[in-house]
Structure 1
Amino acid sequence: MIFDANKLDILGERNDGGVDLCIISSGSLDDSVETQTLLLDKIENYLVFIKSDEFKKDFPMAQKDNIRIIMKLDEKPSEIIYALLETIVPWINENDAKFELEIK
């Protein structure tokens, strides 16, 4: 389950100056339109934050090649959610970040 689209779940600066922005899902993600919309809204808010003056000021070493949005899941997503995640990769890339999916 994904919660508040307007909050960063985890934000951390790496030793190389890059930044990881993590989206954490507690439990499984259902295929509902609400969940899909919440996920897309959360991604959009992360991308807006990456483009913000605040982000650039706080993380001056962060560049397109070292900013990652990482989706952390407890279990493998359904085919619908997995397909949605695949479609957002170009969108994230076009907005100066990389996407990674981590499944425990």
Structure 2
Amino acid sequence: MQKLAALLLTTLMMAGCAFPGVYKINVQQGNILSEEELTQLEKGMSRQQVQSVLGSPIMLNPVDPTREYYVYTFQRGGGDIKEQRVIVYYENERFSHYEANLLEETPAY
């Protein structure tokens, strides 16, 4: 009887470890920016004006205050991580230009 109980318990434990339908959530982090928001930026805007359009930057460079980084990452269901990066440049504390590597799709849920 003990052997049968041990065999049954082992079988149940193994079945729990090999469950095929594990759900993995989508994970998104950072600043979701679109081309529409970036086109609102005008040369000569103050940092405060830029941040009112784009939001707070995710990273600041303490050594080089002429740049602000807006990064967004998205991972769908445990798959590959996709990254979007926007770097905003300032000259004399005024917006000068930006570099953007936007994702084709930035899903929000």
TM-score (norm 2): 0.28
TM-score (norm 1): 0.29
Instruction: Determine which structure has greater relative contact order: mean sequence separation of CA pairs < 8 Å that are 6+ residues apart, divided by chain length.
Output: 1
User: Comparing both structures, which one devotes a greater share of its residues to helix?
Assistant: 1
